């Protein structure tokens, strides 16, 4: 909001301002004055500094903390064949490690050793899926490979529907003539028995995504209502320690043909200035985590690096604002020994391509995005098929879900949904953008203005509607 706009808001509330504070007054001051315990009708320098010094953080019964576990800072070199080989090797061996720890696959042999087996012998193998095709019986032939060779695997019709290229699977079955007849397909998944993140403090994390500042469909009033609610410090607002803003921060430009007709702010820097104004309202005791999405100014190919310093310059100077990559993993509230919860953030651009390749997800995941998130966890990968979204072959595959998260958040679909899978809180953070003309044509109905609030102590999820 412009300086004139802020002064006008004070005047509308019947509060006059001393001339000496006009230059430094901010929108956040407006909310703090409104929530102050005394009624104010004139704001001078002394009163303003008294209000500012009584920041809510002094009253907090908890101390926030954040440790970044995984953040892609940017590519250093051009990609060539060697990088592709290294990328796929990294993906294969890390996913294979998860599978080899599964009891069902403890006797797995390398594919190259199959030639020494006779027919009808029990066997377990682990391989990366090259492709699959359906045979007349309705079952599927799946071509899989590892670093020692390749083989065909025959799987049931239903099981085969879920298999996608480039995922890494275990198969249990019996040998045939140059084929394995699979009786069980094993995915990496996550174990039920593991260390679960915890904290004693009753502190909350709020999850938002797809703000799309600059779009004519963005409901700025909803962003401001959220900021106002946080600043009010009433109820759960007082207990918010973390705010996650998971991609599509700005609408951007040139994302699709005709987008210019859908913009109210055509300059991309000004779109981020609007976002910056929104974040500047939020109290500084809250840790704010910002990651990019496919509409943001960084490269489209995932992993996407953090928003650069020339974007939202003021925010980059703030200790409590953390610009991270997409995807990213952080541990929050971990200042006490043995405490802290791991949060995996992924914007979700691979969703459309992945969902389209599996009949069950194609039918159900747009209504229930968490269904796709469960599927990603089972495969331990955020974009299982190379090419269904734009991926950059870095020296390691940043989209492998290596450490098991306590909270997994994804945006992109603009559909709000929360669920739980094996103790992992799943959050499909909604949007602050109303239905766009593009979504209308595609039949997608967003559900804007719903914000998930996770109690880090109990893991209960509440929904804040703005
Ligand atoms: Fe979006």
Q: Could you give the domains of the chain?
A: 3-53 (no CATH), 66-75+192-465 (3.60.21.50), 103-186 (2.40.50.140)
The pLDDT of 8-17, averaged and rounded, is: 88
317: which 2 tokens? 């100077």
283: which 2 tokens? 């109290």
Q: Which of 250-264, 372-386, 422-436, 439-453 has the highest mean pLDDT?
A: 372-386
CB 142 within 8 A of CB 160: yes
What's the CA-to-centroid distance between 224 and ligand 1, angstroms?
A: 19
What's the CA-to-centroid distance between 56 and ligand 1, angstroms?
A: 32
Q: How confident is the model at residue 10 (pLDDT cuts 50, 70, 90)?
A: confident
Q: How confident is the model at residue 41 (pLDDT cuts 50, 70, 90)?
A: confident
pLDDT at 55 over 60: no
pLDDT at 210 over 90: yes
From edge to edge, which strands make up the β-sheet containing 204-208? Answer: 321-323, 287-291, 240-246, 204-208, 450-455, 461-465
What's the CA-to-centroid distance between 27 and ligand 1, angstroms?
A: 26
For Cα atoms 358, 364, 370, give the angle at the middle one, nearest 5 degrees: 95
326: which 2 tokens? 């997409």
Give the pLDDT score at 26: 80
What's the CA-to-centroid distance between 248 and ligand 1, angstroms?
A: 5
Report the C-alpha gap between 135 and 107 in whole angstroms: 29
What's the CA-to-centroid distance between 265 and ligand 1, angstroms?
A: 16
Q: Model's pTM, two decimal places?
A: 0.89
What's the CA-to-centroid distance between 210 and ligand 1, angstroms?
A: 4
Give the pLDDT score at 56: 47
Phi (first) and psi of residue 138, to 5 degrees:
95, -15
Range with lowest mean pLDDT among 163-177, 216-230, 295-309, 367-381: 216-230
Percent of the chain with pLDDT over 90: 68
Give the pLDDT score at 53: 66
- Residue of 428 and 44 predicted with greater confidence: 428
Q: Which residues of 140-152 are buried (b: 16+ CB within 10 A; e: fewer)?
A: bebbbebeeeebe
pLDDT at 289 over 90: yes
- Residue of 45 and 143 predicted with greater confidence: 143
Work out the mean pLDDT of the chain and round it to a whole number: 91
Burial of 241 (0-12, 13-18, 19+ CB in 10 A): buried
Give the pLDDT score at 59: 58
The pLDDT of 140-161, averaged and rounded, is: 97
What's the CA-to-centroid distance between 250 and ligand 1, angstroms?
A: 9
Report the C-alpha gap between 182 and 170 in whole angstroms: 10
What's the CA-to-centroid distance between 295 and ligand 1, angstroms?
A: 7
């Amino acid at each position: 909001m412009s300086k004139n706009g802020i002064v006008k808001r004070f005047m509308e509330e019947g509060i006059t301002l001393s001339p000496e504070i006009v230059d430094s007054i901010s929108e956040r001051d407006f909310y703090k004055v409104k929530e102050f315990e005394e009624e104010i009708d004139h704001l001078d320098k002394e009163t303003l500094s008294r209000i500012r010094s009584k920041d809510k953080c002094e009253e907090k019964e908890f101390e926030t903390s954040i440790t970044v576990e995984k953040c892609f800072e940017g590519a250093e070199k051009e990609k060539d064949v060697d990088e592709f080989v290294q990328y796929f090797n990294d993906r294969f061996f890390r996913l294979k490690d998860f599978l080899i720890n599964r009891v069902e696959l403890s006797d797995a042999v390398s594919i190259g050793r199959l030639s020494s087996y006779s027919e009808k012998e029990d066997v377990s193998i682990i391989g990366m899926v090259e492709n699959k095709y359906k045979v007349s019986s309705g079952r599927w032939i799946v071509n899989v490979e590892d670093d020692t060779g390749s083989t065909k695997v025959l799987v049931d019709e239903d099981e085969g529907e879920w298999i996608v290229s480039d995922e890494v699977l275990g198969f249990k079955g019996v040998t045939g003539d140059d084929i394995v007849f699979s009786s069980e397909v094993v995915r990496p998944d996550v174990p039920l028995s593991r260390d679960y993140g915890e904290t004693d403090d009753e502190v909350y994390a709020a999850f938002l995504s797809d703000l799309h500042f600059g779009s004519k469909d963005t409901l700025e009033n909803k962003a401001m209502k959220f900021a106002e609610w946080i600043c009010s410090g009433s109820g759960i607002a007082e207990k918010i320690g973390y705010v996650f803003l998971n991609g599509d921060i700005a609408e951007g430009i040139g994302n699709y043909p005709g987008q210019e007709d859908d913009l109210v702010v055509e300059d991309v820097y000004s779109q981020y200035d609007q976002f910056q104004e929104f974040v500047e309202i939020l109290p500084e005791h809250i840790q704010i985590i910002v990651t990019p999405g496919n509409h943001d100014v960084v490269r489209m190919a995932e992993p996407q690096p953090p928003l650069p310093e020339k974007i939202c310059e003021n925010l980059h100077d703030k200790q409590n604002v953390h610009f991270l990559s997409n995807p990213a993993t952080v541990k929050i509230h971990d200042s006490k020994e043995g405490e802290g919860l791991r949060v995996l953030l992924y914007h979700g651009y691979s969703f459309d391509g992945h969902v389209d390749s599996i009949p069950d997800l194609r039918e159900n995941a747009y209504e229930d995005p968490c269904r796709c998130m469960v599927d990603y966890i089972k495969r331990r990968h955020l974009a299982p098929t190379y090419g269904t979204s734009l991926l950059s072959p870095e020296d390691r595959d940043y989209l492998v879900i290596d450490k098991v998260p306590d909270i997994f958040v994804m945006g992109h679909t603009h559909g709000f949904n929360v669920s739980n899978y094996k103790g992992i809180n799943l959050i499909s953070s909604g949007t602050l953008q109303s239905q766009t003309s593009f979504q209308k044509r595609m039949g997608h109905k967003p559900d804007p203005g719903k914000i998930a609030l996770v109690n880090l102590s109990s893991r209960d999820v509440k929904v804040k509607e703005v």
